[in-house]
Protein backbone atom coordinates (compact mmCIF):
# COMPACT_ATOMS: atom_id res chain seq x y z
CA UNK A 1 0.00 0.00 0.00
CA UNK A 2 1.25 3.47 -0.87
CA UNK A 3 2.36 5.77 1.96
CA UNK A 4 1.76 3.03 4.54
CA UNK A 5 4.04 4.62 7.13
CA UNK A 6 2.26 7.96 6.84
CA UNK A 7 -1.16 6.31 6.98
CA UNK A 8 -0.22 4.48 10.18
CA UNK A 9 1.12 7.68 11.68
CA UNK A 10 -2.16 9.45 10.99
CA UNK A 11 -4.01 6.61 12.72
CA UNK A 12 -1.62 6.79 15.68
CA UNK A 13 -2.26 10.48 16.21
CA UNK A 14 -5.98 10.17 15.51
CA UNK A 15 -6.18 7.75 18.43
CA UNK A 16 -4.29 10.31 20.53
CA UNK A 17 -7.03 12.85 19.80
CA UNK A 18 -9.32 10.62 21.85
CA UNK A 19 -6.85 9.32 24.46
CA UNK A 20 -5.63 12.82 25.35
CA UNK A 21 -9.18 14.23 25.21
CA UNK A 22 -7.99 16.74 22.63
CA UNK A 23 -10.98 15.85 20.46
CA UNK A 24 -13.71 13.38 21.52
CA UNK A 25 -15.28 10.57 19.48
CA UNK A 26 -15.30 11.35 15.73
CA UNK A 27 -14.59 15.08 16.08
CA UNK A 28 -11.51 16.73 14.64
CA UNK A 29 -9.28 15.54 11.80
CA UNK A 30 -5.64 15.03 10.91
CA UNK A 31 -3.64 15.23 7.69
CA UNK A 32 -0.10 14.86 6.35
CA UNK A 33 1.39 16.38 3.22
CA UNK A 34 2.43 13.65 0.76
CA UNK A 35 2.92 12.51 -2.81
CA UNK A 36 1.10 9.67 -4.56
CA UNK A 37 1.50 8.66 -8.22
CA UNK A 38 3.63 11.77 -8.75
CA UNK A 39 0.76 13.93 -7.53
CA UNK A 40 1.42 16.42 -4.75
CA UNK A 41 -1.28 16.31 -2.10
CA UNK A 42 -2.10 15.15 1.39
CA UNK A 43 -3.41 12.17 3.32
CA UNK A 44 -6.39 12.91 5.55
CA UNK A 45 -8.67 11.08 7.96
CA UNK A 46 -11.99 9.90 6.46
CA UNK A 47 -15.39 11.34 7.25
CA UNK A 48 -17.54 9.85 9.98
CA UNK A 49 -15.37 6.94 11.13
CA UNK A 50 -14.44 6.36 14.75
CA UNK A 51 -10.68 6.59 15.17
CA UNK A 52 -10.49 3.24 16.94
CA UNK A 53 -11.77 1.52 13.78
CA UNK A 54 -9.37 3.16 11.33
CA UNK A 55 -7.25 1.04 9.01
CA UNK A 56 -4.50 2.27 6.65
CA UNK A 57 -6.76 1.86 3.62
CA UNK A 58 -9.36 4.16 5.24
CA UNK A 59 -7.03 7.16 5.04
CA UNK A 60 -7.83 9.27 1.97
CA UNK A 61 -5.27 10.78 -0.39
CA UNK A 62 -6.25 14.05 -2.05
CA UNK A 63 -4.31 16.02 -4.65
CA UNK A 64 -3.84 19.72 -3.97
CA UNK A 65 -5.93 20.52 -7.04
CA UNK A 66 -8.65 17.96 -6.37
CA UNK A 67 -12.18 18.40 -5.18
CA UNK A 68 -13.80 15.88 -2.85
CA UNK A 69 -15.69 13.99 -5.53
CA UNK A 70 -12.54 13.44 -7.59
CA UNK A 71 -10.55 11.43 -5.04
CA UNK A 72 -10.15 7.75 -5.88
CA UNK A 73 -10.71 6.35 -2.38
CA UNK A 74 -13.76 4.32 -1.36
CA UNK A 75 -14.05 6.63 1.66
CA UNK A 76 -15.02 10.27 1.73
CA UNK A 77 -12.36 12.59 3.15
CA UNK A 78 -13.05 14.56 6.30
CA UNK A 79 -15.67 17.22 5.74
CA UNK A 80 -12.95 19.76 6.56
CA UNK A 81 -10.64 18.65 3.72
CA UNK A 82 -10.94 22.07 2.11
CA UNK A 83 -9.11 24.09 4.75
CA UNK A 84 -6.48 21.34 5.04
CA UNK A 85 -5.83 21.68 1.32
CA UNK A 86 -5.79 25.45 1.43
CA UNK A 87 -3.36 25.50 4.35
CA UNK A 88 -0.96 23.28 2.39
CA UNK A 89 -1.33 25.51 -0.66
CA UNK A 90 -0.77 28.73 1.28
CA UNK A 91 1.75 27.52 3.89
CA UNK A 92 4.72 25.82 2.27
CA UNK A 93 6.18 25.00 5.70
CA UNK A 94 3.01 23.13 6.72
CA UNK A 95 3.73 19.40 6.59
CA UNK A 96 1.02 18.21 9.01
CA UNK A 97 -2.28 19.61 10.32
CA UNK A 98 -4.28 18.85 13.45
CA UNK A 99 -7.83 20.17 13.79
CA UNK A 100 -9.50 19.57 17.16
CA UNK A 101 -12.72 20.37 18.98
CA UNK A 102 -10.75 20.52 22.22
CA UNK A 103 -12.95 21.57 25.16
CA UNK A 104 -11.30 24.80 26.31
CA UNK A 105 -10.31 26.03 22.85
CA UNK A 106 -13.87 25.45 21.67
CA UNK A 107 -15.27 27.29 24.69
CA UNK A 108 -12.99 30.29 24.14
CA UNK A 109 -13.72 30.25 20.39
CA UNK A 110 -17.42 30.72 21.11
CA UNK A 111 -16.62 34.33 21.99
CA UNK A 112 -15.17 34.90 18.52
CA UNK A 113 -12.28 36.99 19.80
CA UNK A 114 -8.49 36.62 19.72
CA UNK A 115 -6.67 35.59 22.89
CA UNK A 116 -4.47 38.50 24.03
CA UNK A 117 -0.96 37.98 25.43
CA UNK A 118 -1.95 37.26 29.02
CA UNK A 119 0.86 34.66 28.98
CA UNK A 120 4.09 34.62 26.98
CA UNK A 121 3.41 31.09 25.67
CA UNK A 122 0.95 32.74 23.29
CA UNK A 123 4.06 33.20 21.14
CA UNK A 124 4.10 29.50 20.24
CA UNK A 125 1.24 30.22 17.81
CA UNK A 126 3.55 32.61 15.98
CA UNK A 127 2.50 36.07 17.11
CA UNK A 128 1.50 38.33 19.99
CA UNK A 129 -2.02 36.89 20.13
CA UNK A 130 -3.95 33.83 19.02
CA UNK A 131 -6.38 34.87 16.31
CA UNK A 132 -9.91 33.53 15.97
CA UNK A 133 -11.28 32.80 12.49
CA UNK A 134 -14.76 34.17 11.86
CA UNK A 135 -17.57 31.62 11.94
CA UNK A 136 -18.77 29.87 8.80
CA UNK A 137 -20.51 26.53 8.26
CA UNK A 138 -18.14 23.58 8.54
CA UNK A 139 -16.67 22.26 5.29
CA UNK A 140 -17.36 25.42 3.29
CA UNK A 141 -15.14 27.62 1.14
CA UNK A 142 -16.05 30.52 3.41
CA UNK A 143 -14.73 28.72 6.48
CA UNK A 144 -11.50 27.84 4.69
CA UNK A 145 -11.05 31.46 3.63
CA UNK A 146 -11.59 32.61 7.23
CA UNK A 147 -9.09 30.08 8.59
CA UNK A 148 -6.40 31.12 6.10
CA UNK A 149 -6.91 34.75 7.11
CA UNK A 150 -6.60 33.92 10.83
CA UNK A 151 -3.43 31.90 10.14
CA UNK A 152 -1.65 34.85 8.57
CA UNK A 153 1.77 34.91 10.29
CA UNK A 154 0.54 32.17 12.64
CA UNK A 155 0.96 28.42 13.11
CA UNK A 156 -2.38 27.98 14.89
CA UNK A 157 -5.69 29.72 15.40
CA UNK A 158 -9.08 29.31 16.98
CA UNK A 159 -12.17 28.79 14.83
CA UNK A 160 -15.23 30.66 16.08
CA UNK A 161 -17.87 28.39 17.67
CA UNK A 162 -15.93 25.39 16.40
CA UNK A 163 -12.48 24.61 17.82
CA UNK A 164 -8.86 25.08 16.80
CA UNK A 165 -6.38 24.18 14.07
CA UNK A 166 -2.57 23.91 14.20
CA UNK A 167 0.10 22.95 11.71
CA UNK A 168 3.75 21.99 11.94
CA UNK A 169 6.78 20.46 10.27
CA UNK A 170 5.55 16.97 11.22
CA UNK A 171 2.62 15.38 13.05
CA UNK A 172 4.37 15.37 16.42
CA UNK A 173 5.02 19.09 16.09
CA UNK A 174 1.46 19.92 14.98
CA UNK A 175 -0.12 17.75 17.68
CA UNK A 176 2.07 19.25 20.40
CA UNK A 177 1.11 22.76 19.28
CA UNK A 178 -2.59 21.83 19.39
CA UNK A 179 -2.05 20.60 22.96
CA UNK A 180 -0.30 23.88 23.83
CA UNK A 181 -3.21 25.89 22.40
CA UNK A 182 -5.68 23.86 24.44
CA UNK A 183 -3.62 24.42 27.59
CA UNK A 184 -3.39 28.16 26.95
CA UNK A 185 -7.17 28.32 26.45
CA UNK A 186 -7.67 26.44 29.72
CA UNK A 187 -5.44 28.91 31.56
CA UNK A 188 -7.24 31.82 29.92
CA UNK A 189 -10.68 30.63 31.06
CA UNK A 190 -9.37 30.32 34.63
CA UNK A 191 -7.81 33.80 34.47
CA UNK A 192 -11.08 35.32 33.27
CA UNK A 193 -12.90 33.93 36.32
CA UNK A 194 -10.75 36.26 38.42
CA UNK A 195 -11.42 39.24 36.16
CA UNK A 196 -9.49 40.74 33.27
CA UNK A 197 -5.90 39.45 33.32
CA UNK A 198 -2.87 41.68 32.98
CA UNK A 199 -1.76 41.83 29.34
CA UNK A 200 1.92 41.73 28.39
CA UNK A 201 3.17 44.72 26.42
CA UNK A 202 3.99 44.74 22.72
CA UNK A 203 7.66 45.33 23.60
CA UNK A 204 7.74 42.32 25.92
CA UNK A 205 6.03 40.07 23.38
CA UNK A 206 8.56 41.14 20.76
CA UNK A 207 11.33 39.92 23.08
CA UNK A 208 9.44 36.68 23.70
CA UNK A 209 8.85 36.07 19.99
CA UNK A 210 12.57 36.45 19.34
CA UNK A 211 13.36 33.93 22.09
CA UNK A 212 10.58 31.57 20.99
CA UNK A 213 12.34 30.97 17.67
CA UNK A 214 14.84 28.81 19.55
CA UNK A 215 12.41 27.40 22.14
CA UNK A 216 12.11 23.91 20.64
CA UNK A 217 15.81 23.74 19.87
CA UNK A 218 16.58 23.65 23.59
Q: Would you give the end-to-end CA distance of the chain in angstroms?
A: 37
| Contact between 14 and 30 (Cβ < 8 Å) | yes
Specify the DSSP element, H or E, that contains 99.
strand 96-100
C-alpha to C-alpha distance for 17 and 31, rounded to whole angstroms:
13
Tell me which of 5, 12, 69, 80 is the catalytic residue. 80
How does DSSP assign 102-142, residue by residue? -HHHHHHHTTT-PBPSSSGGGGGGTSSSB-EEPP--TTSHH
- Rounded distance, CA 197 to CA 5, Å? 45
Do the beta carbons of residue 92 and residue 167 sit within 8 Å?
no
Q: SS3 of 111, please?
A: coil
Q: Is 5 a catalytic residue?
A: no
Q: How far is residue 177 from each of residues 60, 168, 170, measured CA to CA in Å?
A: 24, 8, 11
**Residues sharing a CB contact under 8 Å with residue 97, sequence separation 6 or more, in sequence order:** 30, 31, 42, 84, 87, 88, 165, 166, 167, 174
Residues belonging to the active site = 80
Amino acid sequence: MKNLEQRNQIIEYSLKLNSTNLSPLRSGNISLRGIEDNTEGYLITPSGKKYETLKPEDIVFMGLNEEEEKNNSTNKPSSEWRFHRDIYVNKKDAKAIVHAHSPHATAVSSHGKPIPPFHYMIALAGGDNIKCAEYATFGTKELSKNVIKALENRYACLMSNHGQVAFGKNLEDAFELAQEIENICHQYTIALKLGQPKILSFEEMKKVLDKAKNYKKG
